[in-house]
A and B are shown apart, each in its own frame.
Chain A
Amino acid sequence: MALSTERLGLYNPDKPMENRLTDLGPRHFWQYFPPIIQKNYGKWKYHEILEPGILVHVSETGDEVFTIRCGGCRFMTVEHVREICEIADKHCDGYVRFTTRNNIEFMVDSKDKMEALKKDLMSRKHVSGSYKFPIGGTGAGVTNIVHTQGYLHCHTPATDASSMVKAVLDDLFDYFQGMTLPAQVRISMACCLNMCGAVHCSDIALLGYHRKPPVVDHEVLDAVCEIPLVIAACPTGAISPSKTEDGKKTVKIKEERCMFCGNCYTMCMAVPLSDKEGDCVTIMAGGKVSNRIHPPKFSKVVVPALPNNFPRFPEVCDAVKKIVEAYAADAKKYERIGDWAERIGWEKFFEKCGLPFSEHLIDDYRLAYDTYRTSTQFKYTDAAWEVSKAAGGID
């Protein structure tokens, strides 16, 4: 049965339940494995990164599979996917794979095929000049940035995603194509605190953040939202019931208690937060998910707010670059950004990255005490001398 071309296809709106197939689930994975993967499933012995972006996996059977990893945009058109298919048909017997970080992996079973594939991939550029299939993203470098929808598809973002990711990766392109860092650097981007991209355990996390309390659309609120749910949505209890002058039920907001999470807006369209001047980008650093050496860690806020300077976010790119370069210059082999910051002390992290420290970076939400330093072990930095001066302790 071919894909149908009638306007409603196989669907009959007069009998919507007729012939309805449900609960089929995903298709089975085995049919999509190239023969060499099927043959060596569970038999892989070791792997090597031959050059940035190119891996060889060696099986107990002696078979080798060569993988070329290419950066991809999460936002991708069918035209691009068809080009991926053309490449996969030409070089890879019609198979291809995507990674969880939106990279594309082409696999071949010999070195000769790998060289031909590599040449082909590197030759493909968009008419405006950017690579279509940049090779890299392996080992001790920066791999693709996972991100969320942003202005292209989301109703709650505090910034855009695809544009920021493009700008940052243009800036870090050499790190994507090289393996010059002490360890891998995983950068993630989420355009609001909902964190569809779950960026909270990344080496560097870019996060869109609202900074103005919601404005209340009193005219419609009671008609379009469940007031008790809106009130219950607020983690700080800042929202309470209220009435307009003409007696309409609505809510009022204690603005000084708002921490701008946007959870109320998720529940109710009548309390929007977005604002050109208010919305900003927060940078977090030092998180990871791997259990290697140290347990997984959360990312910590290191830059409270940078402007949404579309389309290239120069301030964000600059801050990310500062962190990556300071880390590249100072960290020991195998140290992730968070491990490095903890070894040298966060005070040194700010000094070495050239990032200012402001009161916004000291936790004052729940469990803040867990982050207090309650010891006399610290290092002297300019920030420390400033405090000593302000306290009258030194001239």
Chain B
Amino acid sequence: MAFEPREPQKELKYDELRIYTDEELNNYTEEELKDFKIKHDIPDVEELEKGPWPSFVADAKREALHRRKLAEDRMLIERDVVEDLLGQLQVSFDDGETHWKHGGIVGVFGYGGGVIGRYSDLQEKFPSIAHFHTLRVNQPASKFYSTDYLRCICDLWEYRGSGLMNMHGSTGDIIFLGTFTEQLEPIFYELGHVLQQDLGGSGSNLRTPSCCIGRARCEWACFDTQDMCYELTHYYQDELHRPAFPYKFKFKFDGCPNCCVASIARADMSFIGTWRDEIRIDQEAVQAYINGEIQPNAGAHAGKDWGKFDIEKEVINLCPTQCMWMEDGKLMIDNKECTRCMHCINVMPRALRPGVDTGVSILFGAKAPILEGAQMSLLTVPFMKVEHPYDNVKELIEKVWDWWMEEGKNRERLGELIQRWGVPKFLEVIGLPPMPQMVKEPRSNPYIFWKEEDVPGGWKRTIEDYRKRHVR
């Protein structure tokens, strides 16, 4: 199946869009790079060129040399920007403190996010990074790219910025690291008009949603993570660009309970693929695992001799609900007892597959520790069918946002609001009944906030009436 974009996608051909010539792109030799010294003395930073892991310092020096050898008029911010950044890093090592100033309000007109202001506090020493603003560029779902697109991004960012980026930031955006204020609007215009590409979120906005690789290259994706991520990102562009929330709000889409994008730990609203029918079993493949013809766990443990695969020990006994057994040489699963933890499927991917009646579990409220401690998401909707255009999901999202925008305090994440008001209130607001699956165990204190309407006869009583029965 092919997906239709919401709007026709302009085809991007690097050769038609490029800024730099091949000569400019190949303007230094390996020998020159070996002999290259940046303008600052950075002994501790250069120490990080040693060792086998890719050195970000070695990479930065390439860009520094490349900029040195470009003509003056082939970059619109200072050519020394990389050298000054490495110089400031060395000073930060020396001082044991960062040298970036606190914040700075910059942005593009009409958006309340997507640009992070940054200024050096050593501007005399490192003038080319006096301004070093970040732009967040909304990545395509699950981070596949064509080289045409990437090369265009590279030319744009080298010409109008530092040429330094993150592939990718923690939330998922492509991060452009470091440019001057003057170039923010021009970059935004180039992105929009030439590359049909928007910025991502920052501040008290919907943050750039992200998803796992999903059906593109995984056999376990229980819903179209990319499509849902794309649709909701587009549908909620206003919320993504214009701050109207108490604080940040994140959507993350995990195709199965393995949670490769950590939605359960990081998203205010976590979508996790699951199924409600039976695990599909290929009994012949089960036998092949038992006979040692197929490596368990797709070969993930091949680096060490763990002995012969033992289905009892490695699958059946590790099943958290003990809902599996062998019978007449066949693997049996009591699916109604299964909690879909994925262990058996992970161990025997060629024998076991998720069911075919799939959907998502929806959980709310995960966040990092600031401020009231870290939270993981609360299981709220056990199973929901999700099909484009996801109207049922949108309806739920908007109920949650309405409540949070009404009641949330400044910088209060959804998870904290749920804690402050209690889960029963949250359920009332979103109109869902409670279920035991929402808790690990029922409460161990009886301090129930009974409501007047819960109690026969209500709360209206008089002391006179009481005294008729009980003398003082």
A, B from the same assembly: yes
22 contacts between A and B (CB under 8 A): A3-B190, A5-B159, A20-B192, A21-B192, A23-B198, A30-B3, A38-B2, A77-B59, A77-B163, A78-B154, A79-B59, A82-B154, A102-B168, A162-B56, A163-B93, A233-B371, A261-B371, A269-B103, A276-B97, A279-B97, A291-B342, A292-B342
**B335: Cβ under 8 A from any A Cβ:** no
Q: Which of the segments A40-48, A237-245, A249-257, A385-393 contacts the partner chain?
A: A40-48
**A26: Cβ under 8 A from any B Cβ:** yes
Instruction: Decide if A155 touches B258 in the complex (CB within 8 Å).
Output: no
Instruction: Decide if B56 touches A200 in the complex (CB within 8 Å).
Output: no
**B185: Cβ under 8 A from any A Cβ:** yes
**B179: Cβ under 8 A from any A Cβ:** no
Instruction: Decide if A46 touches B298 in the complex (CB within 8 Å).
Output: yes
> Which residues of B lie under 8 Å from residue A312 when comparing CB positions?
47-48
- One digit per residue, 1 when the CB lies within 8 angstroms of any chain B CB and 0 when it does not, for chain A 143-160 equals 000101111111111001
CA distance A71 to B53 in the complex (A): 8
> Which residues of B lie under 8 Å from residue A334 when comparing CB positions?
297, 314, 318, 343, 347
CA distance A261 to B298 in the complex (A): 42
> Which residues of A lie under 8 Å from residue B76 when comparing CB positions?
7
**A140: Cβ under 8 A from any B Cβ:** yes
**B164: Cβ under 8 A from any A Cβ:** yes
Number of A-B contacts (CB under 8 A): 491
**B470: Cβ under 8 A from any A Cβ:** no
**B413: Cβ under 8 A from any A Cβ:** no
Instruction: Decide if A49 touches B299 in the complex (CB within 8 Å).
Output: yes
Q: Which of the segments B301-309, B420-428, B429-437 contacts the partner chain?
A: B301-309
Q: What is the distance, in angstroms, from B260's C-beta to the closest C-beta of chain A?
A: 7
Instruction: Decide if B102 touches A155 in the complex (CB within 8 Å).
Output: yes
Who on chain A is nearest to B62 by CB? A79
Instruction: Decide if A52 touches B56 in the complex (CB within 8 Å).
Output: no
Instruction: Decide if B45 touches A311 in the complex (CB within 8 Å).
Output: yes
Who on chain A is nearest to B117 by CB? A155
Tally of contact residues, B, Cβ under 8 A = 163
> Which residues of A lie under 8 Å from residue B159 when comparing CB positions?
3, 5
> Which residues of B lie under 8 Å from residue A81 when comparing CB positions?
150, 153-154, 165, 167
Tally of contact residues, A, Cβ under 8 A = 153
Instruction: Decide if A27 touches B151 in the complex (CB within 8 Å).
Output: no
> Which residues of A lie under 8 Å from residue B349 when comparing CB positions?
46-47
- One digit per residue, 1 when the CB lies within 8 angstroms of any chain B CB and 0 when it does not, for chain A 101-132 equals 01010010000000000000000001111111
Give which listed residue, A88, A138, A229, contacts B410 with CB less than 8 A: A229
CA distance A65 to B218 in the complex (A): 11
**B334: Cβ under 8 A from any A Cβ:** no
Q: What is the distance, in angstroms, from A309's C-beta to the closest C-beta of chain B?
A: 10
Instruction: Decide if B143 touches A28 in the complex (CB within 8 Å).
Output: no
Q: What is the distance, in angstroms, from A259's C-beta to the closest C-beta of chain B?
A: 11
**B287: Cβ under 8 A from any A Cβ:** no
**A286: Cβ under 8 A from any B Cβ:** no
> Which residues of A lie under 8 Å from residue B132 when comparing CB positions?
153
CA distance A180 to B168 in the complex (A): 28
Q: Which of the segments B231-239, B388-396, B397-405 contacts the partner chain?
A: B231-239
Instruction: Decide if B376 touches A201 in the complex (CB within 8 Å).
Output: yes
CA distance A141 to B145 in the complex (A): 27
Q: A126-B54, A291-B259 known; A45 and B341 CB under 8 Å?
A: no
> Which residues of B lie under 8 Å from residue A298 when comparing CB positions?
374, 376
CA distance A26 to B206 in the complex (A): 14
- One digit per residue, 1 when the CB lies within 8 angstroms of any chain B CB and 0 when it does not, for chain A 188-201 equals 00100111111111
**B291: Cβ under 8 A from any A Cβ:** no
Give which listed residue, A94, A154, A179, A296, contacts B302 with CB less than 8 A: A179
**B9: Cβ under 8 A from any A Cβ:** yes
**A17: Cβ under 8 A from any B Cβ:** yes
Given known contacts A23-B241, A193-B370, what 6 new A-B pairs fall within 8 Å (CB)?
A4-B194, A23-B238, A25-B6, A29-B230, A46-B219, A153-B118
The listed residue with most B CB atoms (<10 A of its CB), out of A41, A65, A138, is A41
Contacting residues of chain B (149-163) with chain A, CB-CB under 8 angstroms:
149-160, 163
CA distance A23 to B34 in the complex (A): 45
Give which listed residue, B30, B157, B297, B314, contacts A139 with CB less than 8 A: B297
**B443: Cβ under 8 A from any A Cβ:** no
CA distance A283 to B141 in the complex (A): 32
Instruction: Decide if B372 touches A3 in the complex (CB within 8 Å).
Output: no
Q: What is the distance, in angstroms, from A375's C-beta to the closest C-beta of chain B?
A: 16
**A133: Cβ under 8 A from any B Cβ:** yes
Instruction: Decide if B9 touches A24 in the complex (CB within 8 Å).
Output: no
> Which residues of A lie under 8 Å from residue B300 when comparing CB positions?
49, 138-140, 179, 184
- One digit per residue, 1 when the CB lies within 8 angstroms of any chain A CB and 0 when it does not, for chain B 117-132 equals 0100000000000001
**B37: Cβ under 8 A from any A Cβ:** no
Contacting residues of chain A (55-105) with chain B, CB-CB under 8 angstroms:
55, 57, 65, 67, 71-82, 84-85, 88-89, 94-100, 102, 104
CA distance A182 to B47 in the complex (A): 33
Instruction: Decide if B103 touches A22 in the complex (CB within 8 Å).
Output: no
> Which residues of A lie under 8 Å from residue B111 when comparing CB positions?
22
> Which residues of B lie under 8 Å from residue A11 when comparing CB positions?
185-186, 188-189
**B18: Cβ under 8 A from any A Cβ:** yes
Give which listed residue, A20, A31, A180, contacts B110 with CB less than 8 A: A20
Instruction: Decide if A47 touches B298 in the complex (CB within 8 Å).
Output: yes
Give which listed residue, B98, B150, B185, contacts A16 with CB less than 8 A: B185
**B16: Cβ under 8 A from any A Cβ:** yes
Instruction: Decide if B185 touches A276 in the complex (CB within 8 Å).
Output: no
Instruction: Decide if B298 touches A48 in the complex (CB within 8 Å).
Output: yes
The listed residue with most A CB atoms (<10 A of its CB), out of B58, B59, B185, B226, is B59
> Which residues of B lie under 8 Å from residue A341 when comparing CB positions?
none
**B50: Cβ under 8 A from any A Cβ:** yes
> Which residues of A lie under 8 Å from residue B197 when comparing CB positions?
24, 26-27
Q: What is the distance, in angstroms, from A186's C-beta to the closest C-beta of chain B?
A: 9
Q: What is the distance, in angstroms, from A108's C-beta to the closest C-beta of chain B?
A: 13
CA distance A201 to B92 in the complex (A): 29
> Which residues of B lie under 8 Å from residue A248 when comparing CB positions?
none
> Which residues of A lie under 8 Å from residue B98 when comparing CB positions?
150-151, 154-157, 274
Instruction: Decide if B198 touches A25 in the complex (CB within 8 Å).
Output: yes
> Which residues of B lie under 8 Å from residue A184 when comparing CB positions?
300
Q: Which of the segments B209-217, B324-332, B453-461 contacts the partner chain?
A: B209-217
Instruction: Decide if A4 touches B301 in the complex (CB within 8 Å).
Output: no
**B148: Cβ under 8 A from any A Cβ:** yes
Give which listed residue, A25, A47, A94, contacts B148 with CB less than 8 A: A94
Who on chain A is nearest to B260 by CB? A100
The listed residue with most B CB atoms (<10 A of its CB), out of A84, A88, A311, is A311
**B438: Cβ under 8 A from any A Cβ:** no
**A357: Cβ under 8 A from any B Cβ:** no
Instruction: Decide if A127 touches B56 in the complex (CB within 8 Å).
Output: no
Give which listed residue, A16, A77, A138, contacts B62 with CB less than 8 A: A77
Who on chain A is nearest to B73 by CB? A5
CA distance A104 to B17 in the complex (A): 25
Instruction: Decide if A131 touches B141 in the complex (CB within 8 Å).
Output: no
Q: A24-B197, A179-B303 known; A127 and B343 CB under 8 Å?
A: no
Q: A3-B17, A38-B2, A77-B164 known; A44 and B215 CB under 8 Å?
A: yes
Instruction: Decide if A9 touches B92 in the complex (CB within 8 Å).
Output: no
Instruction: Decide if B237 touches A23 in the complex (CB within 8 Å).
Output: yes
**B386: Cβ under 8 A from any A Cβ:** no
**A351: Cβ under 8 A from any B Cβ:** no
Instruction: Decide if B102 touches A289 in the complex (CB within 8 Å).
Output: no
**B283: Cβ under 8 A from any A Cβ:** no
Instruction: Decide if A152 touches B170 in the complex (CB within 8 Å).
Output: no
CA distance A156 to B374 in the complex (A): 19
**A50: Cβ under 8 A from any B Cβ:** yes
Instruction: Decide if B186 touches A265 in the complex (CB within 8 Å).
Output: no
**A378: Cβ under 8 A from any B Cβ:** no
CA distance A9 to B95 in the complex (A): 40
